Structure 1
Amino acid sequence: MAIERFHIHIADEVLDDLKYRLHHTRWPDTLDNPGWERGTELSYLKSLVTYWKDHYDWRKHESELNSMSQFICHMDGMDVHYVHERGKGTNPLPLILTHGWPDSYLRYHKVIPLLTDPASYGGDPEDAFDVIVPSLPGFGFSSRPKYPGVNNSRVAEMWAALMTEQLGYSKFAAAGGDMGSGVTRYLAANYPEVLYGIHLTDIGIIRDLLAATDLTQLSEEELHYRDNASAWIAQEGGYMSIQSTRPQTLAYGLSDSPAGVAGWLLEKFRSWSDCNGDLEQKFSKDELITHIMMYWVTNTIGSAAHMYYENTHSLPPLSRIEVPTGLALFQADVLLPPEEWAKRNLNITRWTKLPRGGHFTALEEPELFAEDIRAFFRPYRTT
C-alpha cells in the first residue's frame, strides 16, 4: 500500500464530449404540468441542462476542489481517494466522515473548515479535528471494484486500515450518513478498539422492524415507523429496488446520458432535503451540477449503483454496537428511527433532534451538523 497526492484534472476531451451530449439531449414526452409526482420535472431539468451547457464552469469548480488536500491510497487492488485536512487546534481529534448516495465526498466540503478550524468560525480551538473524507469504492475518484463483496462491512475494514496502518492514528472518531451510516456502524461493530465513538445522522431502513411478525412486541413508535417505512418504500423505493437487483442494466442508459444522470439524482436531492419542494432553496445550480459531475466525469454512476447490490446480497448481519454513539436527527430527513429501537441496538449517549435540515445534513445545515459533531466528541478528547 502506498499514498500519493491527488490533483483533479479532467481531460478537455471529456468536457467537450459532455457539452456535445448536453446540446444533443433527446427529451421524453410528458403529461401537461405533471410537476414532480412522476419523477424529475421536465421543465426544471431542461432549464438546468441549459444552464449546465451555457454557463456552468467546471474548471472554476475543479480549481476550488483542488484547494483541499487530496490523496490516493492503494489498498487491496483499489485506489481510494480521500481528503485529509489537518486541524488547527493544539490536539486535533482524527475524524473520518463517510458519505452515501446520491452524493459524494462533497457532502462534507462545507463542514471541513468548521471542523478543522473552529476558532475562525467563533468556536473553541480545542474542538478542532483532523478531517479525513474518503470517496467510497466505485464513487468519484476512487477505483471501481473489480470483484464482488465490496459492501459496507468491507469498506469499514478498508477505512480501519486507512486510518491506523496508513495515516498512523491509533484511535479515531467516525461519522456518516446514508450509506456512510452503515459503513460507520460496521466500523464500530468490527473495530471498536480503534474508535472513540461514532456519530450518525440516520440509521437507514430498519429491516428487522419491517420483517417483524409478532407486532405485540413492538412499541407504538415502532409500529408507526413500520407503517411509514412500508409506505415510503412503496412510493420512493423504486431506485433502491433497481440498484439492488439490476444495477448493470441501469448503468447502460445513465452512463450514456448526462441529462439522465441529472434526472436520476436530482429527484432524490429534492425529495430527501428540507427544501419545501424548491431544490434551489437549499442548493445552487452550480452545487447540484458539481455533484452530478462527480458521477459523470468519472463514469461511476453504474459502479456506485452496484454498492446497493452488494449491500443487499453480501452484507453480513450487524451486531449490537457498544461504542458510544451520537445520533443527530434532522427534522426533514426520511424515516427517522424509533428511539426505543435505536437504544436497544446502539449505545446511544447523545440523542439530538435538530430543527432544520434533511437527509443531506452537512450540505444543508453545515453549522448545525458541525456543532453537534463537536459537542458529541468533546468528552472523548480527554480519554
Structure 2
Amino acid sequence: MGHEIRPFRIDIPQPDLDELHDRLSRARLPRQLPGEGWERGVPVAWLAETARYWREGYDWRRAEARLNGFPQFTTEIDGQELHFLHVRSAEPGALPVLLTHGWPNSFVEFAELIGRLTDPRAHGGDPAAACHVVVPSVPGFAFSAPPRGTGWTTARVGRMWAGLMDRLGYDRYGVQGGDLGAYIAPEVAAAAPGHVAGVYVLGGLGFPTEEDVPEMTGEERAAYEWLQGQDWMNGVDHHALLRAAPQTFAYGWQDSPVAALAWMAQKFHEFNASGKPLDEVIDRDLFLTNVSLYWFTGTWASSSWPMYDTPGGLGWPRGQKAVPTGVYSGMPAFRRLAERHNTIVHWPADNPEGHHFVAMDRPDALAADMRAFFAKVR
C-alpha cells in the first residue's frame, strides 16, 4: 500500500440498517426510578421517544448522503488504516487546518463547521480567511482502524497527524481540537513545530486543580467553586469506568442500540452547559448521526483507548510552547495557569458558551473565532 491515498465512501449495508430498526423495535425498557429530570440518569420517557424517532423518523440514508458530500479518503500511517475528510477551499491562499474531534464524538462533530471554514464568503465571513480542512478519524473511532496493541498515546496520534499533513503536501498548517482533540492538537505541534502555524484549542487549557487553590484570587476561587458544581464535573466518571473495564461495558453498547443511545445521551447531557434541554442545543438528527456511526462501526470499545491506555489517567490538557496557542473558551479556566505551558496569543472573554461540543452547537461563533486566531498566526 505504501503512501497510497484511496477515495472512500460510506455505504452501510441495508441488512445492518434493518437489524438496527429490528433491535430498536424489540427494546426492553426499565421502569422510571423516582427523581426529577435527569438526576437518576436518562429519563425513560426521553429515551423511549428518541429511540422511536431513531427507528421511525430519523433517515440514516439522508445523513449518509450528507456525509458523503465531504470528500473522504483512507491511507496507512504508522501501520494503521486511517480515515479522513479532506475538503479544499476554492479561495486562493487558504490555510490548511486539521481538526481533531472529541470523545464520544466523531468527524460528525464538524459537519456544520467545515463549510464555514472552507467557504467563509457564503457565511458572511472574509474569503481571505478561508481554510482547507482535514478531519481525520482518531484511531479506533468510526472508519479508522482500532489500535492493534496497547500503549497508544495522544503523542503517537499527533505524530500520525503530522505525517498525514506531510503526505497531503501541506508544509504549513494550523491544528484545532477540543475534548480528546485538545490533547492531540498540541502533540502535532510538538511533533512538527516547523510546520504548525498555531494550535487552536476549544477549551481545557488552564483548568485549575486543588494544588492551584492557595494562590487563587477571589474571582478565580469563585470560578473554581462554580466549576466544581457543574454536571460535567460530577456526572458519570467515564474516565474511571473506561479505564477499569471497557471490554465489559462494551457488550451492552455493542448489543443493544437502546443501551448505546442511553450512554451517548448521558454524556451529551452532562457536557451541556447551556442550561437548555439537549434537543434545543444540538440538532437531534446530528446527534443520532453520531450515535448511528458508533453503532454501525462497532467502535464503542475501541474508541475508549485514551482512557485505558493513559497511565494515571489523562488529567487536564497542558498544551505546548513550540508554537502560538489560541483558546475559544477561557472560563472557567484561567489564562494565568494556561500560560505556564502555552504561548497564548488569543483568549477571548466574550465568546458565546453552550455545549461542550461547540462546533455542533455554535458553528458560526466558532468559525469566526478560529478565523480571528489563524489570521494572527498564518
Cα RMSD of the aligned pairs, angstroms, is 2.3
Deviation at 1:274, TM superposition (A): 4.6
Q: Which one-letter code corresponds to 1:321 in the other structure?
A: K
Question: Which residue of structure 1 aligns with residue 292 of structure 2?
Answer: 293
Question: Which residue of structure 1 aligns with residue 373 of structure 2?
Answer: 376
Q: Which one-letter code corresponds to 1:242 in the other structure?
A: L
Question: Which residue of structure 2 aligns with residue 55 of structure 1?
Answer: 57
- Which whole-Å deviations, capped at 9, do the CAs of 1:232-261 have from their partners, x for residues lacking one? 576225222101222111111111111111
Show structure 1 runs of 5+ residues with no match.
none
Aligned CA distance change for structure 1 residues 26 and 4 (closer, same or farther; 3 Å): same
Deviation at 1:107, TM superposition (A): 0.9
Show structure 2 runs of 5+ residues with no match.
none
Deviation at 1:310, TM superposition (A): 1.7
Deviation at 1:5, TM superposition (A): 0.4
Aligned CA distance change for structure 1 residues 221 and 75 (closer, same or farther; 3 Å): farther
Query: How do 1:7-86 residues align onto structure 2 when only pairs under 5 Å count?
Result: 7-32=9-34, 34-86=36-88
Quick check: 1:103 aligned with 2:135? no
Deviation at 1:133, TM superposition (A): 0.7
Q: Which one-letter code corresponds to 1:299 in the other structure?
A: G
Contact 2:352 2:365 in 1 (8 A): no
Deviation at 1:355, TM superposition (A): 2.5
Deviation at 1:221, TM superposition (A): 5.5
Give the percent of matched residue pairs that are identical in Structure 1 and Structure 2: 35
**Cα distance in 2, alignment partners of residues 321 and 226 from structure 1:** 25
Question: Which residue of structure 2 aligns with residue 270 of structure 1?
Answer: 269
Aligned CA distance change for structure 1 residues 372 and 215 (closer, same or farther; 3 Å): closer
**Residue correspondences, number:** 373
Query: How do 1:52-201 residues align onto structure 2 when only pairs under 5 Å count?
Result: 52-164=54-166, 166-201=167-202
- Which whole-Å deviations, capped at 9, do the CAs of 1:291-348 have from their partners, x for residues lacking one? 10110000001111222212345879967424111111177xxxx3112101222100
Contact 2:326 2:347 in 1 (8 A): yes
Deviation at 1:99, TM superposition (A): 0.6
TM-score normalised per structure 1: 0.90
TM-score normalised per structure 2: 0.91
- Which whole-Å deviations, capped at 9, do the CAs of 1:182-213 have from their partners, x for residues lacking one? 1012222333221100111112684xx5362x
**Cα distance in 1, alignment partners of residues 336 and 342 from structure 2:** 10
Aligned CA distance change for structure 1 residues 237 and 322 (closer, same or farther; 3 Å): farther
- Which whole-Å deviations, capped at 9, do the CAs of 1:66-105 have from their partners, x for residues lacking one? 1110011112222111110001211110000001012111
Aligned CA distance change for structure 1 residues 276 and 48 (closer, same or farther; 3 Å): same
**Cα distance in 2, alignment partners of residues 289 and 16 from structure 1:** 16
SS at 1:326's partner residue? strand
The structure 2 residue matched to 1:355, chosen from 352, 357, 360, is: 352
**Cα distance in 2, alignment partners of residues 272 and 319 from structure 1:** 21
Query: How do 1:199-348 residues align onto structure 2 when only pairs under 5 Å count?
Result: 199-203=200-204, 206=207, 209-210=208-209, 212=211, 215-220=213-218, 223-224=221-222, 227=225, 235-312=234-311, 320-329=320-329, 336-348=332-344
Q: Which one-letter code corresponds to 1:292 in the other structure?
A: V
Deviation at 1:360, TM superposition (A): 1.0
Contact 1:92 1:127 in 2 (8 A): yes
More deviation in 96-105 or 183-192? 183-192
Q: Which one-letter code corresponds to 1:352 in the other structure?
A: P
SS at 2:301's partner residue? helix
**Cα distance in 1, alignment partners of residues 304 and 276 from structure 2:** 25
Contact 1:151 1:314 in 2 (8 A): no
SS at 2:327's partner residue? strand
Deviation at 1:287, TM superposition (A): 1.6
Contact 1:93 1:129 in 2 (8 A): yes
Q: Which one-letter code corresponds to 1:350 in the other structure?
A: H
Aligned CA distance change for structure 1 residues 257 and 3 (closer, same or farther; 3 Å): same
Aligned CA distance change for structure 1 residues 277 and 119 (closer, same or farther; 3 Å): closer
